[in-house]
Structure 1
């Protein structure tokens, strides 16, 4: 049967779907972010960020997570949004997911060592002392943020002292 275009009509949902597909194709082909495509007023985005931060401060982590996820999808190039999402995951004790998000945010903002520090805290919580120590060493050796370096030094010192005291206990118990 020949194709007769006169009988073809799209529902609104189908039309919306094609619009979404076009947007996705644009993003994939050009590397554009949703921010580039939709250009939502910066004040609106700042208000959304303020709400996400407020939910985080209030301990309403599920709501904060939703807002930070939206912000991350909206602007894939803003490390602060990813750091916020990572902090939410860390507070929800989803340390592995937090580390993944922190790694991504560190790649985006190489001069900001906060995600590395937070990742170190997560690795410590997961019991991966070597990775935690690596993170704190990286902060101490590369960060220009004196307060952050001081915090990382404290973690490093405690980890090393704990390792030393554990090895002393093992040595004493093996000689007894």
Structure 2
């Protein structure tokens, strides 16, 4: 890959000298390029050392983790809201103990079919209060615990404006 450049000028000796110098420079540059190419071919860097690939992998991992954390937080918030609804409805039944039994059993059947009931913290409190209400026993301690839990949940909710 030797390129020759001829420079035409008035002085032939100057033309030859600058042509030789130019040819020598071009030869050196071409040899350096060939040496660099052969060095790359002989000792290639592995594909996993590529910084672009590392960036893509890191971005994918961060995206996966953020998606997981956000879905976990959303699920936790939904469970709090569901627990608040169940506690409010249970408190309503406890406030009006003359509620017909078919409404209470309908509510119990409805919440037992929902799998989210087993993920909330106050499921035992709700079921015990409803059992005592149906047996017409005293449920004042459960009512107080339900009131306290409702207050705690209200503090955890962020106001939406």
Please classify the TM superposition score into its range, dividing by the shorter chain length: under 0.3
Greater Rg over alpha carbons, structure: 2
Please give the TM-score of this superposition, normalised by the length of structure 2. 0.26
TM-score (norm 1): 0.24
Q: Which has the higher contact order (CA 8 A, sep 6+)?
A: 2
